[in-house]
Amino acid sequence: MEGTAVRGRLTWQVATVSQLIDETPSVRTIVLQVPDWAGHRAGQHLDVRLTAEDGYSAERSYSIASAPGEPVAITVERLDDGEVSPYLTGELQVGDELELRGPIGGYFVWDADHDRGPLMLLAGGSGIAPLRSILRQREHSGSMVPTRLVYSSRSLPDVIYRGELDRCDGGVEVIYTLTRQQPPGWSGHAGRVDAALLAEATWPASQDPIAFVCGPTSFVETVAEGLVGLGYPARRVKTERFGATGGPGGPDGGT
Amino acid sequence: MSPISRGFHGRRRTPAGAEGRVPPGQYVTSDFPVLSAGPTPHTPLEKWTFSITQEGGPSKSWSWTEMRGLSAETVTADIHCVTRWSKLDTEWQAVSLDTLLAQVEHDAEYVMAFSDGGYTTNLPLADVTGGQAWLAFGYDGKPLEPEHGGPARLLVPHLYFWKSAKWVRGLELRDDDEPGFWETYGYHMYGDPWKEQRYAGD
Amino acid sequence: MEALDGNAIGGLLQEVFGTEMTNATGMCGTCGAAGPVAECVVYLRAPGTVVRCRNCGYVLMVFVKVRDMNCVDLRGLATLGRG
């Protein structure tokens, strides 16, 4: 499985949009039918390329939000002043074609036979996408690895995949924190992830956990530094920094 | 040939009447993209200096206050980035490089502009004199923001905008044309957008 | 514009090297720090892609797409490889 999902030649191919799922008011999941898909590992991403009629093209990277074996899906957050995300979350229709290449990545990946220590997942905003792939892969594989997810979002309506996360089995504990707005009666955490929240919510370093941190650069740096401060060896903290669109490929601005 | 993405056109808008102002291969944008090769420096103004230096010859340095005491002008220019976006009618507040270069005796033919963070770019002296180049400290009537090169950057609009070094701290006068940062990595030594001189060999 | 990390250029690296490289170990030629390419600091959307050492900030790799060719400069690295 490992060998087939990291092919030597990375070629562009044309996929077809088979389903669109509105996750939140500004986030949409795009499910794709990819004719020559060799499979992927949880945590990997793909590159998308859009080409306009005059030849102008733009490329972005998006984490694969589905588990190995499921149809390929990416989750895109719309940035109002973006160039690509408004197209993917607005104009794109079922039946449209999308050029992509993948799967990509060998560092920010998780396999069920990965590890002995508990699994520590930390997501900021759309950084939840590759972690959902990991959670689904954990479930599909029958893994019982104790897992915690700390998930930071602006507000409750901004929590992506909330229904699914609330239904996680007993081996997965989900800790939400809402940074800007909390609903009345909210008893969960409020505010950004900080040292105090990390100390409370993460597996102790003594249990040799493996951590996956994904989200905007500033989130990842604060969290990674915090985990190392709690005794996590740097090599047990995997990081993936996003631009603002829901993928490692840079903010949806500039060229 | 890549398949066309139905309904995708990016953000480009070519305003009517702009023909003739847009070099080949460029698109007009109304935003101001931020491109960078490294972290944004933050030099405090009291530490900032601009220097003109040369090996074996006189040099001169200006503090922020001294530079702001020089006569400045408003410059309106079209700018063209090698990554294909162009922005028309940008407005800058700047000191002409003629003003600065006039204060240093030299017979150099080239300059290497150098910036905080290690960025460099090379230009012929003939292209940074004669009213073609400025040290810009203001954009659109406001102090130039760090992400756009503030406190001060070079402004050389007749060449691709990578020559308009952000966070510039000085010019090294030289006899020979040596490649700066992007020129070393494959970009053109001169960079005329009207001749589409993007890469070495163009 | 915040910097990203080596994950963002996974596709580019695979295009250039013919294999997955984000998990490869790079050693900085300036300060000697070593780590996965995925953890390097990456600046995209400049006239080229610039990869810097997370420890000292010096340039490790620069990728420029010249017409349809990838021009790669690795002079900032002391070593790059598996393990």
Could you list the pLDDT tens digit for every one of the 83 residues in chain C?
A: 579 999 999 999 999 999 999 999 999 999 999 999 999 999 997 899 999 999 999 999 999 999 889 999 999 999 999 85
CB contact (8 A) between residue A96 and residue B5: yes
Where b means 16+ CB within 10 Å and e means fewer, A154-193 reads: eeeebbbbbeebeeeeeebebbbbbbeebeeeeeebeeeb
Average pLDDT over residues A101-124: 92
Task: Please tell me the predicted confidence (pLDDT) of residue A55.
Answer: 84
CATH number at residue A22: 2.40.30.10
The residue to which tokens 């996003």 are assigned: A242
Model confidence pLDDT, tens digit, residues A62-96: 999 999 999 999 999 999 888 899 999 999 999 99
Contact B12 A56 (CB under 8 A): yes
Lowest mean pLDDT of A19-28, A47-56, A154-163, B156-165, name the range: A47-56
**Cross-chain residue pair A14–B3, CB shorter than 8 Å:** yes
A130 with A50, same domain: the answer is: no
Residue A187 pLDDT level (bands cut at 50, 70, 90): very high
In a domain, B133, yes or no: yes
Enumerate the residues of chain B whose CB falls inside 8 A of the CB of residue A49: 2
- Domain count of the fold of chain B: 1
Give the contacts of A7 (CB within 8 A, at least 6 positions apart).
Answer: A38
Q: Which domain holds residue B137?
A: 48-195
Q: Give a yes or no: residue B6 inside a domain.
A: no
Domain ranges, ordered by start, for chain C: 4-81
A170 and A59 within one domain: no
Per-residue pLDDT at A1 exceeds 80: no
Report the SS3 class of residue B125.
helix
CA-based nearest distance B28→chain A, Å: 12
Q: Chain C residues with CB inside 8 Å of A253's CB?
A: 1
Q: What is the pLDDT of residue B79?
A: 98
Q: What is the pLDDT of residues B80-135, one digit of tens each?
A: 999 999 999 999 999 999 999 999 999 999 999 999 999 999 999 999 999 999 99
A171 part of a folded domain: yes
What count of CB pairs under 8 Å joins A to B? 57
Q: How many CB atoms lie within 10 A of CB B84?
A: 15
Does any CB of chain A come closer than 8 Å to the CB of residue C33?
no
Name which of B74, B38, B88 is nearest B193 in CA terms: B88
**CA terminus-to-terminus distance, chain A:** 36
Q: Does the structure show a pLDDT above 80 at A246?
A: no
For testing the chain C interface, which of B2, B185, B187 should be mutated: the one with the most C CBs within 10 Å?
B185
Q: How confident is the model at residue A243 (pLDDT cuts 50, 70, 90)?
A: confident
CATH number at residue B126: 3.90.420.10
- Sheet containing A172-178: give its strands across: A189-190, A172-178, A147-153, A119-124, A210-216, A237-242
User: Which has the closest alpha carbon to A211: A235, A183, A181, A194?
Assistant: A235
Collapsed DSSP state (helix, strand, coil) of residue B163: helix
B35-A58-A250 Cα angle (round to 5): 50
Q: Which of residues 4-43 of B touch C (CB under 8 A)?
A: 33-39
Please give the pLDDT value at position A4: 39
Kindly report which listed range (A6-15, A206-215, B19-28, C16-25) carries the lowest average pLDDT score. A6-15
Any domain includes B113 = yes
CA distance C1 to chain B (A): 7
Which tops the pLDDT comparison, A198 or A8? A198
Residue A225: predicted pLDDT: 97
Average pLDDT over residues A13-42: 96
- Confidence label for A249 from pLDDT (cuts 50, 70 and 90): low
Q: Do residues A81 and A158 both lie within one domain?
A: no
Name the closest residue on chain B to residue C50, using Cα atoms. Answer: B37
Number of structural domains, chain A?
Answer: 2
DSSP 3-state of C15: helix
B33 in A contact zone (CB under 8 Å) = yes
Is B71 part of a structural domain of the chain? yes
Domain shared by A33 and A148, yes or no:
no
Q: Looking at the partner chain, which of B6, B31, B84 has a beta carbon nearest the beta carbon of A96? A: B6
Encoded amino acid at B136, one letter: A
Q: Is residue B25 part of a domain?
A: no
Q: What pTM, to 2 d.p., does this model score? A: 0.94
The reply to whether residue A102 touches residue C45, judged by beta carbons under 8 angstroms, is: no
Determine the pLDDT at residue A18.
98
Confidence of residue A244 (pLDDT cuts 50, 70, 90): low
**ipTM entry:** 0.95
Residues of A in contact with B11 (CB under 8 A): 83
Average pLDDT, chain A: 91
Query: Are A249 and C3 within 8 A, CB to CB?
Result: no
Among the partner-chain residues C45, C59, C71, the one whose CB lies closest to the CB of B186 is C71
Q: Do C48 and B182 touch (CB under 8 A)?
A: yes
**Could you tell me the CATH number of the domain that includes residue A178?**
3.40.50.80
Domain that holds residue A100: 13-104
On whether residue B39 sits in a domain, the answer given is no
Residue A4 lies in a domain: no
Let me know whether A86 and A163 are in one domain.
no
| Model pLDDT, residue B132 | 98
CA B177, B182, B188: angle at the middle one, nearest 5? 60
Q: How confident is the model at residue A3, as a pLDDT?
A: 36
Closest chain C residue to A61, measured at CA: C8
CA-to-CA distance for C47 and C27, rounded, in angstroms? 25
Q: Which two tokens stand for residue B149?
A: 């090169």
pLDDT digits (tens, 9 = 90+) for B41-52: 999 999 999 999
Is position B179 within any domain?
Answer: yes
Q: Which residue of B has its CA nearest to C49?
A: B37
Chain B: list its partners (3+ Cβ pairs within 8 Å): A, C
Amino acid B125: pLDDT: 98
pLDDT at B14: 65
Whether residue B2 lies inside any domain: the answer is no
Flag whether A252 is in a domain. Answer: no
Q: Which phi and psi (to 5°) does residue A231 adopt?
A: 105, 0
Q: Which chains touch A (3 or more CB pairs under 8 A)?
A: B, C
- Per-residue pLDDT band at A247 (split at 50, 70, 90): low
- Nearest C-alpha of chain B: how many angstroms from C75? 11
Q: What is residue C2's predicted lDDT score, i.e. its pLDDT?
A: 79
Last residue within a domain, chosen from A104, A132, A155: A104
- For residue A243, the chain C residues in CB contact (below 8 A) are 2, 4, 8
pLDDT band at A232 (very low <50, low <70, confident <90, very high): very high
The share of chain A scoring above pLDDT 70, in percent, equals 91
d(CA A223, CA A232): 11
